[in-house]
Structure 1
Amino acid sequence: MFSASSIVTAVALLGAGVVSTSPSWTTNPFNPAAIPLAVRSPYLSAWLPQGGGNALNTAWPTFWTGMIVGWAGYVSVDGNVFTFLGAPSVTATQAVQKSFQFTSTQSTFVMTAGPVDLTVNFLSPVEPADLVKQSFPFSYLSLSAASNDGSSHAVQVYTDISAEWVTGNVSLVANWTTTAGDNNLVTHQVQLATQEPFTELNDQIQHGSAFFSTGSTQGVTYQTGEDVQVRAQFVQSSVLLNSQDTQFRAVSDKWPVFAFASDLGSVSTSSTPVVFALGHVRDPAIQYITSDGPLQERSLYFWTQFSTIGDAIASFLGDYTNALARANAIDNQISTDARNVSLDYAELASLSLRQAFAGSEVTVSKNSDGSFNASDVLMFTKEISSSGSVSTVDMVYTIWPLYLYVNATLGKYALLPMLNYQASGQYPNAWSVHDLGSHYPEATGHNDGKDIAMPVEECGNMLIMVLSYTQRTGDNSLIVTYYDLLDKWAQFLVDNALHPSNQLSSDAFAGVLANQTNLAIKGIIGIRAMSEIANMTGNSTGSQQYASVATSYASQFQKLATSTDGKHLTLSYGNDSSWGLSYNLYADRMLGTNVFPASIYELQTSWYGNADTSSQFGLPLDTRNNFSLSQWEIWTAATVNDTTVRDSLVGGVLKLAADGKSSKPFGDWYDTLDGSVNSFAARPVVVGLTGLVSQRKRV
């Protein structure tokens, strides 16, 4: 499924926190801080917070910000009703959570409801080989029951969502419709009465609709209305009324919910699953700056194949069996590759894939006649929680190994928005732009040049990503089309990489610093990358010149950046008491450029190995503070030459994942002394915790 030379990227994960006391249910591999339920796009992002260890039916699912997104579930067994999902006020007997397991694409709970075990599976598929399927902003919920006492039992299941799924302000008015029979589906659609395209409120989009669908088969009933009334109807009767509430109102006014019930019949052995599709769809999806004319409105790619949302949902639901098989294959591949590194790494290997891909959206533009231009594919990513920016270059760079692992062409689609914009000449600075817009989903550029300045960081990142894409695919289109732009950035690095001025790196929260050794490493590798790019395009003179500069800079760097006792690289030139994680060496090994000699890797391996991490959650990012970023812990682990040191760094991150200090979707910025997580949550960069086999499986 994946390239044999792939980097283990989807294994870059983390969930910030198994509970500190063991839960009463069995877990595999562990209980993360927040369990992904429906995690598919920046606006379809529902999690079950853990912290002290919540069962599926003891807390409400929440958006990644912590706002509740109502999602309830009951199961009726021989007329006795049990709650299995959410914390609804209409009480029933609590089903007992028996087990929980997560993989890269699935979260599965087994809930005991008296004499029946209900299997609840949340599947957020990742489809890297199919742009239509990957751009579907939908996830699956499947429910199946099995007798646990050897007898047959009458079983009916119920689930609903609330209007909380469509807004960051529950005082706003929503409206809704239910259609039954079209495409053999029953579909609830809910949206705000007043739409605001491209506008977020508390990070939730104020545009588009939530869709909740299932097949219109025998035994399926539906109902919309006030939460307590609809839920009480099922608790009392195990069936719904096929009725609709048309009193449109504020989300918090008698809390409208949109429900389904399904009769599974008499259940002995495992029943056939009943499957639901849940999604959030908006059109247009992205506003993008182009070289001329008005801002371009872009749509999700799946619209190239479907004329109605009903057709799209029908295709998605109808594909469930095959989608599950593909998901199982991805899960197994990631688990196998992670175990080839270490068991600890495998423990961490399944929680990031959904989180990483849920930050990105694959889009297309329209032709002048209104048809979709399926050849104009651009992928945009939201910098969730840290800034909300669009396609931040160093964020894409952190995700980059994932694209190389699953499908390098996705990396091309992620690079093109930045390359196209800067090639248009609208961005005035001599270095690469930091992001494409301050507020997702408005990719409106920075024509004033006043974006966050990370000159050496972003120039190096762009050159490294473009080269690695070309190496992996053999596709020279990027290096040919954008050669002048790449050369401009390389020239900037020639002038600035060896002695970086007082500026930010990717770790912006740490502040500016002059002569950062780790930043110089990236700049020098970027220059060497341009040498390779020049060679690939037939510019042998340019290739030799850039190679000569990179070699000279690497030699000078060793003298400038090594402490006077020769034991480690410093954080900044001349500061002998300082040091940090030299994670930017990762790119040298990823590209196979060997800019830096083996002695540098040996030096750092020895230094990390002598550090006392026995009571810590890995090593600090640098000597300025105790905090670190978990992805850089793993990238550093990928650069060391000793498996004991590597495993120590991995073990620190695993300890973080198991410390039970957070109930938020994994946040990568944390304190290495106590494991407390800072403000970041659910960021797609969590997948940057990857690459541990890249030194053996180079591009």
Structure 2
Amino acid sequence: MKNRQITRLPAVPLVTCDPYFSLWSPADHLYDKNTCHWTGRPKPIRGYIRIDGNEYRLIGSDGPSQTVRQTGLDVTPTASKYWFESCGTEIALTFCTPLLLDDLDIMSSPCSYIDVSIVSVDNCEHDVELRLEFDEAICCNSGRPLMAGGELKLPGMDMVWMGKRAQAPLSHSGDDVTIDWGYLYLAVPSDENTTLSLGHGTMGTTSLISHMAFRATKEPSKRYLVVAYDDIASIFYFGRFQPGWWARSGKDIITAVKEAVDDHDRLLIKCQEFDDSLTEEALKFGPSYALICAAAYRQTIAAHKLIADEQGNPVFLSKECFSNGCIGTVDVSYPSIPLFLRFNPRLVEAMMRPVIRFAKLPVWPYDFAPHDVGRYPYVIGQVYGLRGNAEPIRNLHMANGDVYPKLYIMPSGVELYDLHYQMPVEECGNMLVMAASLLTFGGNTYTGFIKEAMVLFEKWVQYLLKNGSDPGNQLCTDDFAGHLSHNVNLAIKAVLGIESFAILLKALGREQEAGEYHNKAADMANDILLRAGSEQRTRLTFDRPDSWSLKYNSVWDIIFASGLFPDSFYKDELNWYKTHCNRYGVPLDNRRDYTKSDWIMWCAAMNERPEDVEVFAEPLARFLQESPDRVPFSDWFDTNTGIHHSFQNRTVQGGLYMPLLRFYRKEMQGKELEK
């Protein structure tokens, strides 16, 4: 028997298409616990295998007590592959969602694959039957609703489907909720040894059932299954119910599933090639970094939904998972962008598009950027920091599941928002840096988009010039830590926001103004260092000489090659972080032992050598291997205990790709010099 890869994650991604169609195994072995949604709500896939008449449990904790023996698990960016052995056979199950960022139609597809391979390892032949059951709970948020469904035989493909009889698309909004509408589909290539049916599963619930028969020989016998979900409507977007990007031109779910069946071989090859390439790139830093990149990839992408706006432009909307359920949150997009800048900057533009649209409306009269554009799956205007009883809307203290009204249509003069709970410096800096990063990694392709938003960028940079050098009592993206005055890292964000505006001006041919804003950013940076310096590091706040914090925002100075901060600043900061690292990472600041994984790797990207990045990645890999909490990759956790703090399945883990992005940028700069 071969020695198989054994990867341990707190939870293993299985089917990861979007925030609602997201199924995980929260256990070391696939048969230890039932599969679930990222919220932890049960969404069982049950699997049983019969070998020469003996039945064993393969997936989930329900059914026969006897299990096969899991011998390996390998998690790559697009796939999770399990190996099992029993009765002289080896069984391989691969769960692959082809989230290929260079192809938006494939990336946004509602289809995922389960591949099965069975081989004899004892020189004997064996009769094998594999039964997979997909429970009705996948289609509903709670309870046991009445279900509808059916079976279809199409040319070259068999299909089965089910969903609630009573359909109410987008009938709730919030955080700790799962889908309560739409239809689940299974499909296979037509094959006399594979049958699909709608029936009652092992636990008596309505289920979609796949039954595959194999003759195990020394040559692997292979089959596959397409699992898909039609959500009917994906996002309420400024007054319109929009489908997923894949359906923007009217494509229906049967066509999408048929394409997935037909494209199986091609897409699995593409996924394997992408996984190999990304892993090779990450391994230049070390095995720990490669592991955290693989663990973060599908989660980061699938906690978004991609749709088209009325003009057919892509709109990429994040969900704040186990945070507050907001949609399109600016300070959630900001940390996630390294992954997307590396592989498709168009998706960063697609994140910014709804924020720019909302910020131009009369209801948002402020001279700073918004925090969000609604609560998932409703893009109806910012919901963070609402006053609650603002005229003409009252009782806006909405429970989880409630749907906010269309805030974006409110006229000017309606003071919906409590300014005490806004993030002015944070969001202005975020939007400006995101805009500059588009130009840095996407070039002139995005100058038109930038030009259309310049009226906002000009307003936001003025806010930073006025308020950024020593921020008042404001929230920042780390709002779980509360309000904080004189925040040095937030002041650094203001510096990089101003520098970003200079980059925008230069791209638009306004060279003289660009130079002036660069000088303003440099002056502010020098002033910050003078006021923030303490022995061997900078402070958390200007007025606390014994404090310190991760200065993650400064990494953009390196990426933009702006030269705002001296090499000695980065050297001192990195040395300080290394000497204050706990078992599972460097704390966010001196106040508590918790950290944010994304910000750690932003700081790691300040290192000049790839091997020094691995020093910061190793504790995060250890967290994945040892955390007692069986939840999708959390970005907020205790650096001593490995216990997570609320956040899970969040898009911000795209920030773990910052070292990869920084060194990719270094290669770009080298090629530019050669020209």
Q: TM-score, normalised by structure 1?
A: 0.86
| Residue matched to 2:98 | 125
- Alignment partner for residue 508 of structure 2, among 537, 548, 551? 537
| Residue matched to 2:403 | none
Aligned length: 630
User: Higher mean Cα deviation, 535-544 or 193-202?
Assistant: 193-202
Alignment of 1:335-374 (within 5 A): 335-365=279-309
d(CA) in 2 for partners of 1:443, 1:347: 34
- Alignment partner for residue 23 of structure 2, among 23, 46, 49? 46
Residue 693 of structure 1: CA displacement?
4.1
Contact 1:43 1:280 in 2 (8 A): no
User: Higher mean Cα deviation, 205-214 or 665-674?
Assistant: 205-214
Contact 1:399 1:687 in 2 (8 A): yes
| Residue matched to 2:484 | 513
* SS of corresponding position for 1:691: helix
1:155 aligned to 2:128? yes
1:605 aligned to 2:574? yes
d(CA) in 1 for partners of 2:149, 2:291: 43
Residue 577 of structure 1: CA displacement?
0.6
CA deviation string 1:101-144 (max 9, x = no partner): 11111111112131221111111111212121111122111112
| Residue matched to 1:263 | 213
d(CA) in 2 for partners of 1:593, 1:316: 46
Q: What amino acid does structure 2 have at the position aligned with 1:49?
A: P
Contact 1:167 1:192 in 2 (8 A): no
Alignment of 1:234-633 (within 5 A): 254-264=204-214, 266-289=215-238, 295-304=239-248, 307-365=251-309, 375-437=312-374, 439-446=375-382, 447=408, 448-450=416-418, 452-474=421-443, 475=445, 476-563=447-534, 566-609=535-578, 611-613=579-581, 615-633=582-600
d(CA) in 1 for partners of 2:536, 2:122: 66
Residue 503 of structure 1: CA displacement?
0.6
* SS of corresponding position for 2:295: coil
- Alignment partner for residue 62 of structure 1, among 21, 31, 36? 36
- Alignment partner for residue 51 of structure 2, among 30, 54, 77? 77
CA deviation string 1:601-642 (max 9, x = no partner): 122123224x243x5322210112111111111111111457
Residue 556 of structure 1: CA displacement?
0.8
Contact 2:627 2:643 in 1 (8 A): no
CA deviation string 1:55-100 (max 9, x = no partner): 21222101111111121112232333322112233x2742111211
d(CA) in 1 for partners of 2:491, 2:290: 33
Change (3 A) 1:487 1:498: same
Judging by fraction of residues, say which structure has more helix. 2
Q: Which sections of structure 2, spanning at least 5 residues, go unmatched?
A: 383-407, 409-415, 669-675
Alignment of 1:198-217 (within 5 A): 198-200=171-173, 202-217=176-191
Residue 187 of structure 1: CA displacement?
2.1
| Residue matched to 1:15 | none
Contact 2:49 2:128 in 1 (8 A): yes
d(CA) in 1 for partners of 2:229, 2:62: 23
1:639 aligned to 2:606? yes
CA RMSD of aligned residues (A): 2.2
* SS of corresponding position for 2:606: coil
d(CA) in 2 for partners of 1:472, 1:127: 18
Contact 1:183 1:311 in 2 (8 A): no
Q: What amino acid does structure 2 have at the position aligned with 1:33?
A: P
User: Higher mean Cα deviation, 540-549 or 152-161?
Assistant: 540-549
User: Higher mean Cα deviation, 572-581 or 688-697?
Assistant: 688-697
d(CA) in 1 for partners of 2:4, 2:380: 45
| Residue matched to 1:5 | none
CA deviation string 1:323-357 (max 9, x = no partner): 11111111111211111112332233311110001
| Residue matched to 2:199 | 225
| Residue matched to 1:7 | none
d(CA) in 2 for partners of 1:491, 1:425: 20
d(CA) in 1 for partners of 2:227, 2:537: 52
Q: TM-score, normalised by structure 2?
A: 0.89
Q: What amino acid does structure 1 have at the position aligned with 2:269?
A: A
* SS of corresponding position for 1:41: coil
Residue 594 of structure 1: CA displacement?
2.2
Q: What amino acid does structure 1 have at the position aligned with 2:34?
A: W
d(CA) in 2 for partners of 1:306, 1:322: 24
Change (3 A) 1:33 1:308: same
d(CA) in 1 for partners of 2:6, 2:560: 33
1:187 aligned to 2:160? yes
d(CA) in 2 for partners of 1:361, 1:695: 26
Contact 1:142 1:276 in 2 (8 A): yes
* SS of corresponding position for 2:538: coil
Q: What amino acid does structure 2 have at the position aligned with 1:399?
A: S
| Residue matched to 1:247 | none
Residue 200 of structure 1: CA displacement?
4.3
Residue 695 of structure 1: CA displacement?
4.1
1:178 aligned to 2:177? no
CA deviation string 1:194-247 (max 9, x = no partner): 424252474212222222222232222233333238xxxxxxxxxxxxxxxxxx
